[in-house]
Amino acid sequence: MHYRKFLEANEDKVFFLKTDAAGHNRFNSRYNGIFINFKRDKHDNRGAYTATFHEMGHHVDQILGRVSRQGEFGRLLRSDAQNFVLAYAQLNGYNVEEAL
């Protein structure tokens, strides 16, 4: 299922508990919601609202029953991370051993 369709279908389950939060942005499974500072996140150096979508990902993971902790999903995450590191190394002239 496409991420946008999933969010639309589950909009009643995704909660922003505080949108002017002090401190770090976070999803809190105990309170089943996201603490975020939208004003600060709008100006994130990584891109506007990067933290918002990151924390929403944690929330979606919980809604789906913690799929990130399941075998295949975890393996794919590790593989993607390793591929990213290797591509970054090649782009910046590092050898594979230095990158990993």
pLDDT in tens, 70-99: 778 778 877 888 888 888 888 888 876 766
58 and 75 assigned to the same domain: no
30 and 55 assigned to the same domain: yes
Q: What 3-state class would DSSP assign to 7?
A: helix
Angle value at C-alpha 25, between 23 and 28, nearest 5 degrees: 110
2 and 51 assigned to the same domain: yes
Domain around 84: 70-100
- Residue 1 pLDDT: 63
Domains held by the chain: number: 2
40 and 21 assigned to the same domain: yes
- Residue 78 pLDDT: 79
pTM: 0.69
17 and 60 assigned to the same domain: yes
- Residue 74 pLDDT: 77
